[in-house]
Structure 1
């Protein structure tokens, strides 16, 4: 296995934002008369508007996405880097890497700035592709922008939808068990518990 680039999901991988997102989705669900637990289960690794389509087909996804984004901006103080993220990203300085996220562009960039994490030159957001995770488009686009074959890209993901997308794109999918169990990430080529484990993989196969 040869690794020429690393592609990171953001929420649950580089940013510890589960608490913030849970508060936002719980508030939104309550305001719309929906079951918060059922809604929450459908949020991981997906565009908010795709979740809205699944749980509330009578609502306009674009309008609800704007509402969710506004709620999320109020949660900025509750977001921190995942343990090991700063050191891992610093170790990749000068090496090809990218973020591939279903999150909002402005919020992700603001979160990186607030937490002191470095942003890579290549950033792929949900609105950069027609078909979001679990479709492979986002990872294929990141690999193309980096000029690296997808088969040489190590993808670090915490959500089943992201793992499916990475595998479908032909990448090496690593499941980080920060938000889901290893069983839930069953499509992954391997699973690890920490970003220190990811750093070891990159060092070994880079």
Structure 2
């Protein structure tokens, strides 16, 4: 994989990227789908990278999206079973810290959930941009633009690491290059975070 040397900061999505929370997320959203007569597979293809309320708003516009979103979050706060660091996460973050490359986490989760999941994964982010700090969620670029600004790096010189099409769209809209996991359309397709270790060489 070829990586441009102009990468001056790395901006990570959290769920499915730095933190493997796939099992708990799927478990909670499948239960929501069954309770609200929505196709489970449709829910699982709609919700990645989005705030919970936005998923509800799209799939069941007749429901109170904000209330439903809060209910989903309440369940996610207490279910951390199986939440771990993604493969290669600790090695990559240690290498970035060692070489002085700044990094941040930009997530559609709120601050409480992000703290719980990062804590469960043993990751301490030097900069954490959460959904409750923003006006717009992904695919809007606001989160990535804010992280780049706070790090003092031009967004076009940042590498965004994502695992969803929604998140990748946010990174591209911010002007960053995007490394994509799970086969999403991205500037740099990667199979795991280990593929990015060459950034630190």
Q: TM-score, normalised on structure 2?
A: 0.92
Partner of 2:66: 62
The superposition leaves residues 116-143 of structure 1 with CA deviations (integer Å, 9 ceiling, x where unpaired) of 11222x2111122222111111111110
Select the residue among 163, 172, 178 that pairs with 1:173: 178
Select the residue among 188, 191, 194 that pairs with 1:193: 191
- Asked if 1 retains the 8 angstrom alpha-carbon contact of 2:96 and 2:200, the reply is no
Is the counterpart of residue 133 in structure 1 residue 153 in structure 2?
no
Partner of 2:117: 111
Is the counterpart of residue 98 in structure 1 residue 104 in structure 2?
yes
Kindly report the root-mean-square deviation, in angstroms, between the aligned alpha carbons of the 2 structures. 1.3
Is the counterpart of residue 153 in structure 1 residue 150 in structure 2?
no
The secondary structure found in structure 2 opposite 1:69 is: helix
Partner of 1:203: 200
The alpha carbon displacement at 1:75 in A equals 2.0
CA distance in 1, matches of 2:43, 2:116: 26
Q: TM-score, normalised on structure 1?
A: 0.90
The superposition leaves residues 39-77 of structure 1 with CA deviations (integer Å, 9 ceiling, x where unpaired) of 111011111111010001111121111110121123202
The superposition leaves residues 19-43 of structure 1 with CA deviations (integer Å, 9 ceiling, x where unpaired) of 1100000111111222211111101
Provide the aligned length of Structure 1 versus Structure 2: 195
The superposition leaves residues 90-137 of structure 1 with CA deviations (integer Å, 9 ceiling, x where unpaired) of 2222431100111121111112222211222x2111122222111111
Task: Provide structure 1 residue ranges, at least 5 long, that are not aligned to the other structure.
Answer: none
Is the counterpart of residue 72 in structure 1 residue 76 in structure 2?
yes
CA distance in 2, matches of 1:106, 1:129: 15
Task: Provide structure 2 residue ranges, at least 5 long, that are not aligned to the other structure.
Answer: none
The alpha carbon displacement at 1:168 in A equals 1.0
- Asked if 2 retains the 8 angstrom alpha-carbon contact of 1:89 and 1:118, the reply is no
- Asked if 2 retains the 8 angstrom alpha-carbon contact of 1:133 and 1:162, the reply is yes
CA distance in 2, matches of 1:129, 1:74: 24
Structure 1 segments of 4 or more deviating over 3 A?
none
The alpha carbon displacement at 1:162 in A equals 0.8
